[in-house]
Amino acid sequence: MSNKRKKFDKLLQIITYASSSIGVLILSLIVIFVIKNGVGLINWDLITNDYHAQFYNGGIDEVTTFSNTSRPINLDDEDVYSEKWGIALRDGLDREGKPIVEVTYIAEDSPLNLMYDKNNLDNADFEIEVENVISSIKFDNKPSALSLYGAEYMINELDAENQFREIVFSSLGGGIRGSLITTLYTIGLTLIIALPIGIFSAIYLNEFAKKNFVTRVIRSMIEMLTGVPSIIFGLMGLAVFVPLTTRYTPADGANLLSGSLTLAVILLPIIIRSTEESLKVIPDDFRFASLALGANNSQTTFKVVLPSALPGILTATLLAIGRVIGESAALIFAIGTTIKDDISIFGKSTTLAVHIWSLLTDEPANIELASTISIIILIIVLVLNISVKLLSKKYLKRV
Amino acid sequence: MKKIILLLVILLSGSLVACSSNDDWDSSKNITLYTRDTSSGTRAGFMEGIGFSDAAEDNSLLAEGYVIKDNTGILTSMKTDEYGIGYISLASLNENVKGLQFDGVDPTIANVVNNTYGLKRPFNYVIRSLDDFANETEKNITLAFVAFLHTSDGADIITNEGAIPLTSNSTWDDIKGNYEVCNQDNSAVTIKFGGSDSIEKIALALTEAFAPKCGNFTPEHDHTGSSDGFKRTQGSEKDGVNYKHVGFASRPFKDTETGSEGTQGQLAWDAIVAIVHLNNEVTNVTAEDLKKIYSGEYATWEQLIG
Amino acid sequence: MKKTKQWFKNLRNNFHFNSKKEIVDFFVRLVFLISTIISASFIIIIIAFIAREGIKPFVTDNNGLGAVNLFRFLSGRVWLTGTTFQSNLYSVGFIIINTLYVALLSLLISMPIGVLTALFIAKIAPKKLSSIMRTVIELLAAIPSIVYGLFGAGVILPFVYNFAKTLGIQSPGGNSVLATVVVLSLMILPTITALSEVAIRSVGKDIEHGSLALGATKTQTHFKVILTSAKSGIFSAAILGIGRALGEATAVSLVAGNAQNGPSFGIFQTTSTLTSTMLQGLKETIGLDYDIRFSVGIVLMIVILITNMVLNYVKKKVGNVNVK
């Protein structure tokens, strides 16, 4: 082997290594980018909490005795305490990055414990608690103290009065539990629909179809699907699948099922292409051997061809899951942008990507939470990826 | 191991290049214009506010080389582009960009509320025609919601979300007697809200706060854009699968979007702020300055500073 | 297709099968065929749907604005002349050129990188590393396009802006052909890599061994034999990749700058693509300004169709070592 040849080989090697490191580089840059923006918000509560806050309107009868608990020593400097009302408040940020006022302490003898539920006078359990969020305190004779102006303002306004009309407080919302569950449902439903159709089509095209004009047309029709922008898929889903599902299921309007059907169409060409490529790998000898042993075509397909094509199908599945998780434009129309906490496959809901989309189209956009959700998406994909691989390893060994 | 080190080196050098920018600001440079697209309510409000309404829906009147972006896009661009100028909703203003004074008035909520800050646009709502509700309960809850929008309790929520409410004198406590429907249990009733996504946060805050006051009805929000606000309540999609009870628009309703009487109205104002890069030396602009910038009369920053 | 006909004939004439196996065989084939027909029919549904919406601007008078002139629409150099909602002078000529230009440039960047990465994963890398690399590619494929957009706006735009500045050019915030091409290349890289890898792995071992036996080095075999043999699959990857590049909307609209006239060839000029034009103001607009976006959609589909046909033609011409 000539020296020149060696050098040239080395060069090509280096180029190959460099090219593959670009993928790693891009992924690391994106990961660094989302972590830099989104790591601050990541915690377990975000994942397990509801999105919608429950609001309460507390009214109070004339107050005769005020609190006389002095400021507890365990309060931080940021806590603003009202001795008169026996309540400590603190400025914070909610999950959308908006300033809020949190309750951090309520004294035993606070008159606020006497508040009643203005919306349901029979509610005996009504009470304001630590970790609640106060959005406003309303008075009869002056403008309300809003959380926008901060905890200190709120306490000062409250201290100046002996009476208030209403305190509006709520639980802390903004969790993504609903969107997370929806995403998993959507992945499952979409794969159940798309995988069989896609794999069967690929088998038909590769194993049974004659190489003629009709097959070529069918193939290019399927390939053309890959070029359709997601937004068009979405509008198609809205025009075709949404009415279809509302007619035959209890659904009322866009729903998880119509969204999954739309996604399934998007996935078909990916699954077909990838499955076909792996079917091509299988040597014809296998097929002939199987047929020679007396198996018929469908037996050969299911027992010989399909198992050998499994790695390709797995790649297709993973690509498909990736696409489902990442898709937003199509789903905006086919599932809608309603962020929900109770998930039903016949109801509206959002996947994580649509959740991100809706955070980013807000004014102001919430880039931090969007990044946090991206981190979660990446983690889900990684976990699914690894588990599918482990499963396939087990399965492939058996074959 | 070698590869990892190589990778780190590439990464580091990449980020170094990305971060290296110097701080001197050169007023002789050209102004880069950033604008929203012609269907944006913010753009309509902005162009009207600077006396350049013709350009609200016509790009050819703008100086060459403008960049069209959405609210977030303009905001992030102004972090990078030292010679750019754009405009955003006041609620989006943050410390990464510089919000310019308009006619000498700082862009703050207080200044908008006391009506000294002049650049703003309306937020509107539209409900279904009164004879077009599926049942009386849905209609009455919708009407109660509209009434709530105009109370000081509704105004408090709007203010808290960064928009500017219309003045109101009554509280929900004063008028709730007129809305019998709110005394019953409505937890099985779903009221659908949609339209502009600029108003989504405000709408969500309003319904979350209003639902417990009105029998805990279920508000369902699906915001897809101002044009869907009318379309899905009284327009072509009002009986479609995505029909809504209440729609919102972050711009004035067009002539083709006139609904039946008493179904449309304004709920708030939204202030608009002209923004530039933090390095920019300019702090104050007048309506006329902005018009000259956007029409191309001022091509460089020098010309503005004079 | 013919086979199917034959089966139906069988069914009609004999009305009985020779064995239970044959019945199963028949139904399995039927299911496969139906699946294929379903897969292929969606494109017709989609075309019918957007055609219904998209032809409207050319055949109706658009509420008094007058029908849009098709020739002008396809050839013009300004998106809209006159005031929105009051003018019907739309054109996408320059946008078609812009779209093809950025898509081809991104393919030019992504193809070599993607194919070499695929080669690395399939043939060169040790098993562990190749499995890690595959995961990396699959993760990249799963990142929502809006996040690519965010990344583009947050990292690529400043990078391009500063790059232009070092060259002494004042760039409009980095919004440019270059930024668009970079973002698109990132987005189509996983698609191209994943599919090329399948194609490369499908090259028969005998071909590889033959090459090695003839005295070629491993590297020579990889580049000269395997890549050549996998050509057909790699071309399919390119077709899918360019399809994605042409159809990508969200991320592009965040970095392109949405130029309203053109075409733009300079790499620091702002640009616009068919999808970014469709997306621009889609949610807020009404009337002709809304309907015309579906016409842009039709144009996009036709552009994709033609690109596909051209690439398929090239694929055929370049030759095809059939591995099956």
Together in a domain, B137 and B245: yes
Q: Grade residue B14 by pLDDT with cuts at 50, 70 and 90.
A: low
Question: Which of B6, B109, B197 lies nearest to residue A362, judging by beta carbons?
Answer: B197
> Is residue B242 less than 8 Å (CB to CB) from chain A?
yes
Work out the average pLDDT over C57-82: 85
> Using CB atoms, which chains have 3+ pairs under 8 A with B?
A, C
Contact A200 C31 (CB under 8 A): yes
Task: Count structural domains, chain B.
Answer: 2
Asked if the Cβ–Cβ distance from A364 to B92 is below 8 Å, we say yes
- The strand pairing partners of B124, in sequence order, are B249, B266
Q: Has residue A132 got a pLDDT over 80?
A: yes
Best of A211, A298, A337 to disrupt the C interface (most C CBs within 10 Å) is A298
Q: Which of A56, A138, A246 sits opposite B212 (nearest CB)?
A: A56
Average pLDDT over residues B280-286: 91
The reply to whether A156 and A195 lie within a common domain is no
Residue C176 located in a structural domain: yes
Q: Inter-chain contact C239–A224, Cβ cutoff 8 Å? A: no
On chain C, the residues whose CB falls within 8 A of the CB of B256 are 63, 286-287
Indicate if the pLDDT at residue B101 is higher than 90.
Answer: yes
Chain A residues closer than 8 Å to B153 by CB: 138, 166, 168
Q: Is the pLDDT of residue C210 over 60?
A: yes
Mean pLDDT of chain A: 84
Predicted pLDDT at C17: 56
How far are the Cα atoms of B113, B281, B284, C145 from residue B100, in angstroms, in the given order? 18, 10, 5, 33
Cβ proximity of B69 and A363 under 8 Å: no
Same domain membership, residue A308 and residue A164: no
- Which residue bears the tokens 């007023």? B27
Average pLDDT of the residues in C290-307 = 86
Pick the more confident residue, C63 or C101: C101
Q: Report whether pLDDT(C324) > 50.
A: no
Give the rounded distance of the alpha carbon of A225 from its chain centre: 25
Q: Rounded CA gap, C193 and B275, in Å?
A: 42
End-to-end Cα, chain B, rounded Å: 59
Residue B167's pLDDT band (cuts 50, 70, 90): confident
Same domain, A102 and A137: yes
Report the number of secondary-structure helices (H) and strands (E) in chain A.
14, 8
Is the same domain home to A210 and A161?
Answer: no
Q: Does B188 touch chain A (CB under 8 A)?
A: no
- Does residue B46 or residue C236 have the better pLDDT? B46
Indicate the pairing of strand B284-285 with strand B101-102: parallel
Q: Looking at the domain assignment, is residue A161 inside a domain?
A: yes
Helix axis angle for C20-54 and A177-203, nearest 10°, is 120
Query: Which range marks the domain in which residue C44 is found?
Result: 2-54
Same structural domain, B278 and B264: no
Which of C32, C135, C219, C279 to mutate: most A Cβ within 10 Å?
C32
- pLDDT at C48 (0 to 100): 87
Considering the domain architecture, whether residues C310 and C186 belong to the same structural domain is answered as yes
**Residue closest to A300 by CA, chosen among A208, A219, A391, A211:** A208
Alpha-carbon distance values, B277 to B287, B304, C184 (Å):
19, 15, 27
Residues B173 and B280 in one domain: no
B220: which 2 tokens?
A: 């369902």
Residues A141 and A198 in one domain: no
**Nearest CB to C157 within list B32, B40, B80:** B80
How far is residue A201's CA from residue A273's CA, in Å, rounded to a whole number? 10
**Are residues C173 and B77, on separate chains, in Cβ contact within 8 Å?**
yes
In a domain, C35, yes or no: yes
Tens of pLDDT, residue by residue over A336-376, are 777 888 888 888 888 888 888 888 777 777 888 888 888 88
Inter-chain residue contact C308 with A224, CB threshold 8 Å: yes
Q: How close, in Å, is residue B67 to chain A by CA atoms?
A: 18
Q: Which residues of C touch B57 (CB under 8 A)?
A: 83-86
Are C181 and C294 found together in one domain?
A: yes
Whether residues B238 and B111 fall in one domain: no
Chain C partners within 8 Å of B251 (Cβ): 284
More confident position, A30 or A223: A30
What is the CATH number for B263? 3.40.190
**Is B75 in Cβ contact with A253 (below 8 Å)?**
no
* Shared domain check, C245 and C156: yes
Q: Which residue has the tokens 């046909």?
A: C309
Q: What is the rounded CA–CA span in Å between residue A212 and residue C265?
A: 41
pLDDT at A315: 74
Adjacent-strand bridge partners of B88 = B273
Using CB atoms, pick whichever of C41, C155, C300 lies closest to residue A29: C155
* C124 contacts in chain A (CB < 8 Å): 13, 16
Of A208, A268, A377, the CB nearest to C3: A208
Does residue B201 have a pLDDT over 70?
yes
CA-nearest of A137, A126, A82 to A107 is: A82
Residue C231: predicted pLDDT: 84
The shortest CB-CB distance from A1 to any of C49, C217, C282 is to C217
| C290 interfaces chain B, CB cutoff of 8 Å | yes
Mean predicted confidence (pLDDT) in C196-210: 84
Instruction: Please check whether residue C155 touches A, CB under 8 A.
Output: yes
Question: CB A139: neighbour CB atoms within 10 A?
Answer: 16
Indicate whether B17 belongs to any domain: no
Strands (E), chain B: 32-35, 67-68, 84-89, 98-99, 101-102, 120-127, 164-165, 190-195, 218-223, 246-249, 264-276, 284-285
Q: Which domain holds residue A105?
A: 55-170
Comparison of pLDDT for B201 and B247, the residue scoring more: B247
State the burial class of residue A74 (Cβ atoms within 10 Å of its Cβ: 0-12, 13-18, 19+): exposed
Q: pLDDT value at position A232? A: 82
Written as one string, the DSSP assignment of A248-280 is HSS--SS-HHHHHHHHHHHHHHHHHHHHHHHHH
Are C175 and B77 in contact (CB < 8 Å)? yes
The domain boundary residue, chosen from A152, A170, A188:
A170
Test A16 with C133 for CB contact under 8 angstroms.
no
With respect to residue A27, please indicate whether it lies within any of the assigned structural domains.
no
Burial label for B201, CB within 10 Å (0-12, 13-18, 19+), is buried
Domain ends where: A140, A170, A200?
A170
Phi, psi of B133 (to 5 degrees): -95, 150
- My answer on whether B187 and B232 are in the same domain is yes
User: What's the pLDDT score for residue C159?
Assistant: 92
The model's confidence at residue C322, banded by pLDDT at 50, 70 and 90, is very low
Establish if C74 belongs to a structural domain: no
Contact (Cβ atoms closer than 8 angstroms) between residue C265 and residue A245: no
Residues 286-315 of C with CB under 8 A from A: 297, 300-301, 304-305, 307-309, 312
Encode burial over C72-84: b for 16+ CB neighbours within 10 A, e otherwise.
Answer: ebeebebbbbbbb
Given a cut of 70, is residue C290 above it in pLDDT? yes
Check residue A67 and give its pLDDT.
85
> Does B305 contact A at CB distance below 8 Å?
no
| Residue B149's pLDDT band (cuts 50, 70, 90) | very high
> Does C20 have pLDDT greater than 80?
no
Residue C62 covered by a domain = no
Q: Which residues of B touch C180 (CB under 8 A)?
A: none
Q: B4 pLDDT band (50/70/90 cuts)?
A: low
The whole-angstrom separation of Cα C37 and Cα C43 is 11
* C-alpha separations of A53 from A252, A340, A391, B35, B208 in Å: 24, 11, 40, 35, 7
Q: Does C257 touch chain B (CB under 8 A)?
A: yes
In percent, the amount of chain A with pLDDT more than 70 equals 98
Does C211 map to a domain? yes
Q: Check CB contact under 8 Å for A378 and C239.
A: no
Task: State the pLDDT confidence band at B305, using cuts at 50, 70 and 90.
Answer: confident
What does the pLDDT read at residue C5? 66
Percent of chain C with pLDDT over 90: 20
User: Does residue A214 share a domain with residue A293?
Assistant: yes
Judge whether A339 and A240 are in contact, CB under 8 Å.
no
Q: Do A230 and C247 touch (CB under 8 A)?
A: yes
Number of domains in chain A: 2
pLDDT at C111: 93
- The helix/strand/coil state of A349 is coil
pLDDT band at residue B288, thresholds of 50, 70 and 90? very high
B204 inside domain: yes
Note the pLDDT of residue B6. Answer: 60
Q: Are A272 and C137 an interchain contact pair (Cβ–Cβ within 8 Å)?
A: no
Determine, for residues A20 and C22 on separate chains, whether the beta-carbon distance falls below 8 Å: no
CB C276 within 8 A of CB C256: yes
B110-120 residue pLDDT tens: 888 788 888 88
Q: Note whether B127 and B116 are same-domain residues.
A: no
Assign residue A190 the CATH number of its domain.
1.10.3720.10
Candidate from C80, C83, C286 with C-beta closest to B256: C286
Whether residues B173 and B76 share a domain: the answer is: no
Q: Report the DSSP beta bridge partners of residue A340.
A: none
Q: Is there a domain that residue A33 lies in?
A: no
For residue A334, what are the CA distances in angstroms to A229, A231, A234, A238, B249?
14, 10, 5, 5, 22
Whether B212 and B285 map to the same domain: the answer is no
**A395 pLDDT tier (thresholds 50, 70, 90):** low
| Domains identified in chain C, total number | 2
B195 in the same domain as B109? no
Q: For residue C73, is it within any domain?
A: no
Lowest mean per-residue pLDDT among A284-293, B212-221, C180-189: A284-293
Q: What is the CATH number of the domain that holds C95?
A: 1.10.3720.10
Q: Is pLDDT at A75 greater than 90 in this prediction? A: no
Q: What SS3 class is residue C15?
A: coil
Which of the four pLDDT bands, split at 50, 70 and 90, describes residue B144? very high
- Whether residues B226 and B276 share a domain: the answer is no
Arithmetic mean of pLDDT, B94-113: 88
Q: Residue A161, Cβ neighbours under 10 Å: how many?
A: 17
Q: For residue range A186-217, list pLDDT tens digits in order.
A: 999 999 999 999 999 998 888 888 888 888 88
Put simply, the answer to whether A224 touches C304 (Cβ < 8 Å) is yes
Asked if residue A295 and residue A246 are part of one domain, the reply reads yes
Same domain (yes/no): A65, A198: no
- Whether residue C106 is found in the same domain as residue C170: yes
A328's tokens: 């937003």
- Residue of A193, A235, A249, A189 whose CA lies nearest to C45: A235
Is residue C142 one of the residues assigned to a domain? yes
What whole-number distance in Å separates Cα of residue C238 and Cα of residue C115? 10
Least confident of A313-327, B124-138, C119-133: A313-327
Query: pLDDT confidence of A399, banded at 50, 70, 90?
Result: very low
* Cα–Cα distance for residue pair B22/C162, rounded to 1 Å: 10
Sequence-ordered alpha helix ranges (H) in C15-144:
20-54, 56-59, 70-75, 93-119, 127-142
Q: Evaluate whether residue A138 is within a structural domain.
A: yes
For chain C, the average pLDDT equals 84
Residue A359 lies in a domain: yes
User: Closest-CA residue in chain C for B18?
Assistant: C159
Cα angle vertex A90, ends A87, A94, to 5°?
125
| pLDDT tier, C323 (very low <50, low <70, confident <90, very high otherwise) | very low
- For position B55, which CATH number holds? 3.40.190.10
DSSP SS3 for B265: strand
The C-alpha atoms of residue B269 and residue B124 are separated, in whole angstroms, by 9
What's the DSSP call for residue A285?
A: H
Pairing of strands A80-82, A166-170: unpaired
Residue C154: inside a domain? yes
Residues B116 and B138 in one domain: no
pLDDT of residue C320 exceeding 60: no
Q: Can you give the pLDDT at residue C208? A: 84
With beta carbons less than 8 A apart as the criterion, state whether A104 and A75 touch.
Answer: yes
Q: Is C120 helix (H, G, I), strand (E, B) or coil?
A: helix
Whether C250 has its CB under 8 Å from any CB of chain B: the answer is no
Q: pLDDT-based confidence at B3, cuts 50/70/90?
A: low
The verdict on B127 and B245 lying in the same domain is yes
Residues spanned by the domain of B142 = 122-270
